A and B are shown apart, each in its own frame.
Chain A
Amino acid sequence: MEQDFSMLDAIIGKYRNRSGILIPLLQDVQQTLGYLSKDAMRYLAEQMQIPAADIYGVATFYSMFKLKPQGKHIIRVCKGTACHVSDADGIKDALRNELGLEGEEDTTADMKFTLLEVACLGCCSLAPVIMVDDTTFGKLTPDSIKGILQRYAYEEEA
């Protein structure tokens, strides 16, 4: 079935016929759709008269662009140097364990959480650090993870 992407037309209108706009365009589209599906990228290519390969090339180059649906909350676990030497691996394991993620999975089956690894969150003096959506949690221990996640589960019901 053909998906309807007409909700993207306003964004497309904003960027049409301007140069150097591909990255902000894709950022806006991702903001609207949550991720960049192949169909969405094809639609953009047609509407903007840009080769689909160029769009796909940019989308796959930058780690900000997601090609798969993401969970409701995004958890970023810092794997930067300061965090690495402060047992970021232990934090990551605790998160994966708590979220029940297996193998290569990064999103929980209920689509509530997606776990991403990032290189540095720029708050290295609080290492090890994670960010849940826009909130930063620092000086963590593996034991503190459960409480943090519960907060989000709890909020939802409240």
Chain B
Amino acid sequence: MIDLVESYRQGKLPEANVILAEQHEGRHNELLAGQYRIVLRNCGVIDPKSIEDYEAQGGYSALKKALTMQPEEIVEEVKASGLRGRGGAGFSTGLKWSFAARAKGSKKYVVCNADEGDPGAFMDRSTLEGDPHNVIEGMIIGAYAMGADEGYIYCRAEYPMAIHHLRIAIEAAEIKGYLGRNIMGTGFNFELHIKEGAGAFVCGEETALMQSIEGKRGMPTIRPPFPAESGLWGCPTNINNVETWANITWIINNGSTEFRKIGTDKSPGTKVFALAGKIAGSGLIEVPMGIPIRDIIYKVGGGMKTEKPFKAVQMGGPSGGCIPASLLDTIVDYDSINATGAIMGSGGMVVMDSGTCMVDVARFFLNFTQNESCGKCTFCRIGTRRMLEILTRITEGKGEAEDIVKLEELATNIIKGSLCGLGQTAPNPVLTTLRYFKDEYLAHIEEKRCPAGVCTSLLRYEVIADKCVGCTACARKCPVSCISGSVKQAHVIDQDKCIKCGACFKACKFEAISKG
């Protein structure tokens, strides 16, 4: 952790990839206890720029094994493993592969979705930076299994180091004959390209992503046809997330039976999470499916960052929701998380404490989706805007009693009336906060009060007369001169003039100003 911060400060790219939670001062073993590494097994262990390092860890042995198998056998093995897509929706990877394998066409593509657009998530970034060959090897195996001869990795342009490491890795794999023509003398050809994203969240959606690879505006298209039938340039295409691809080599090497021993029956394997927010040990973790969220936060993550108590954990980014303290014993698998109204998502976990306002969080996500809506569907384009206006109004203390009903109505219609997952899931952050934190909405609307003290317009700063020593520090700092009082006398804030900037609160050395 320290190394990473230091090298960033010095303006250098860190040399070795660092897995953050691992280096949490002296608590190494304790924090690692609950973890199990499949996807991240090499991250931080090998030099990601050295193919020899990767080979020394058993790299490309899965490819060698796969090339001795029939393509159908590989698809069956992946199907038997029960691996589910790690990009969010959790669709069976083996099943998806079987569609693409069966699809008619002499030209097929495989694609790796490395767009990682969810704010608060950095799993794919770390995987690509720390172990690019594992993803590439998974893609070569997939291409062989499905009969594809060309592939793309679509990577966010915000991740220059991931792109850099991928380029080095592809070149090295070509030189070693793992990529290119006549791979390892088997007659199988596979060419792999990198496409840099250009900054649009919706391009993480698979049909929009393919539009973008084709050089167009990234607007989702209607499914069916699914990419497996008609994807890139009309050819059968299989698209998987980075982490999904990163599981393949392990499954081929160890077999589906071993894979199924980890995790739960319906969600086998592990999941990588990016822990962030108000948690002590923020960073990247990989845990077996089935672990309770409570253990992730209090054992693996080392608990809360400050004294402030836990309030909620946000999972699934803008498509997800907030899971409250009462549901902390929910276990991590696709179906259990869905039951809470949140989604597993790609693995961002942002921990929130009592200092986080849930109405503000809902507004934050709506602002995001409203900005990122591609504009194709009316409900998504305008509906999210209307929801954002209502939420903004509530956080400004102008909320009305019927606003909650309006929000619910809009949410239902946006879910029904949108073509792609962006619109269909955009209301989730609002719906989950309404479900678990309705009292906070009501405090904003009825009492014009923000219990967490976040919504500036609803704040009220007051001088606590007993504690005020009359030092005049606050009055001197106030930008609108609304604090009056003589030296050594208790001061008073003129509430009509106060702009709630908080300057007095910060200036006071005697804790004589209350905020609430």
Cβ contact within 8 Å between A62 and B215:
no
Cβ contact within 8 Å between A85 and B278: yes
Q: Mark A55-76, 1 if CB is under 8 A from B, else 0.
A: 0011001111100000000000
A138 at the interface (CB under 8 A from B): yes
Q: Which of A6-14, A37-45, A104-112, A119-127 contacts the other chain?
A: A119-127
**Contact indicator B282/A124 (Cβ below 8 Å):** yes
Tell me, yes or no, whether B76 is within 8 Å of chain A by CB.
no
Residue of B119, B160, B199, B276 near A62 (CB, 8 A) is B199
Q: Is the CB of A85 within 8 A of B350?
A: yes
B1, chain A: closest CB distance, angstroms:
8
The 0/1 profile, CB within 8 Å of B marked 1, for residues 109-153 of chain A is 000000000111111111100000011111100000000000000
Look across to chain A and name the residue whose beta carbon is closest to the beta carbon of B13.
Answer: A134
CB contact list, B21-40 vs A, under 8 A: none
A81 and B217 within 8 A (CB):
no
Residue A103 at the B interface, CB < 8 A? no
- Collect the chain B residues with CB atoms within 8 Å of residue A118's CB: 158
- Residue B42, interface by CB 8 Å: no
CB-CB contacts of B269-312 with A at 8 A, as 1s and 0s?
A: 00000111110001100000000000000000000000000000
A79 to B364: give the CA distance in the assembly, Å.
9
The residue from B11, B200, B317 contacting A61, defined by CB atoms under 8 A apart: B200
Residues of B within 8 A of A79 (CB): 119
Name the residue on A nearest B126 (C-beta): A122
The answer to whether A58 touches B217 (Cβ under 8 A) is: yes
User: Which single member of B125, B198, B314, B372 contacts A122 (CB below 8 Å)?
Assistant: B125
Is B215's CB under 8 angstroms from A85's CB? Answer: no
Closest to B125 in A: A122
When A27-B196, A62-B199, A122-B116 are in contact, do A19 and B214 touch as well, CB less than 8 Å?
yes
Cβ of A126: which chain B residues have Cβ within 8 Å of it? 4-5, 8
A65 with B198: CB separation less than 8 A? yes
Q: Residue of A at shortest CB range from B371?
A: A119
Q: A83–B199 Cα gap in the complex (Å)?
A: 19
Q: Give the residues in chain A near B274, CB-CB below 8 Å.
A: 124-125
A134 touches B160 (CB 8 A): yes
Interface bits B315-332 vs A (CB < 8 Å: 1, else 0): 001000000000000000
Q: Known: A85-B356, A139-B5. Is A24-B196 also a contact (CB below 8 A)?
A: yes
Cα distance, A97 to B81, chains bound together (Å):
55
CA distance A119 to B121 in the complex (A): 10
Report whether A82 and B5 are in contact in the complex, using a CB–CB cutoff of 8 Å: no
B215 and A82: CB pair below 8 A?
A: no
Q: Decide if B350 touches A81 in the complex (CB within 8 Å).
A: yes
B8–A58 contact, CB under 8 A? no
Q: Once the chains are docked, how many angstroms separate the CA of A13 from the CA of B274?
A: 43
| Cβ contact within 8 Å between B158 and A81 | no
Given A21, A63, A80, A134, which contacts B120 in the complex, CB threshold below 8 Å? A80
B119 touching A119 by the CB < 8 A rule? Answer: yes
Give the distance in Å from the alpha carbon of A64 to the alpha carbon of B216 in the complex. Answer: 14
- Contacting pair B20 A125 (CB below 8 A): yes
For the complex, give the distance between the alpha carbons of A142 and B372 in Å. Answer: 28
Q: How far is the CA of A60 from the CA of B350 in the complex (A)?
A: 31
Residue of A nearest to B375 (CB): A61
Q: Which B-chain residue is minimally distant from A135 (CB atoms)? A: B11
Residues of A within 8 Å of B214, CB to CB, are 19-20
> Which residues on A sit within 8 Å (CB–CB) of B89?
none
Q: Closest A-chain residue to B368, C-beta based?
A: A119
Is A22 interfacial (CB-CB < 8 Å)?
Answer: yes
Cross-chain contact B216 with A134 (CB below 8 angstroms):
no
Q: B356 near A22 (CB under 8 angstroms)?
A: no
Query: With an 8 A cutoff between CB atoms, is B82 at the interface?
Result: no
Contact B215 A23 (CB under 8 A): yes
CB within 8 Å of A: which B131-159 residues = 156-159
**B201 at interface (Cβ–Cβ under 8 A)?**
yes
Q: Are B159 and A127 in contact (CB under 8 A)?
A: no
Residue of A nearest to B367 (CB): A79
A96 sits at the interface (CB 8 A): no
Q: Tell me which residues across on chain B come within 8 A of A121, comparing CB atoms.
A: 158
A63–B215 CB distance below 8 A: no
The answer to whether B217 and A124 have CB atoms under 8 Å apart is no
Determine whether the beta carbon of A58 is less than 8 Å from that of B215: yes
In the complex, what residue of chain A is closest to B212 when comparing beta carbons? A23
Which residues of the partner chain A approach B116 to less than 8 Å between Cβ atoms? 122
Chain B residues within an 8 Å CB radius of A65? 198
The interface residues of chain B lying within 8 Å CB-to-CB of A122 are 116, 121-122, 125, 156, 158-159
Instruction: Report Cα–Cα, A125/B283, bound state, in Å.
Output: 6
**Residues of B bordering A, CB below 8 Å:** 1, 4-5, 8-9, 11, 20, 116-122, 125, 156-160, 195-196, 198-201, 212-218, 233, 274-278, 282-283, 314, 317, 348, 350, 352, 356, 361, 364-365, 368, 372, 374
Interchain residue pairs with CB less than 8 A apart (6): A20-B215, A23-B215, A80-B120, A82-B119, A119-B372, A120-B119
Kindly list the 5 A-B residue pairs having the minimum CB-CB distance in the complex, ordered from nearest.
A80-B119, A81-B120, A62-B198, A82-B276, A125-B282
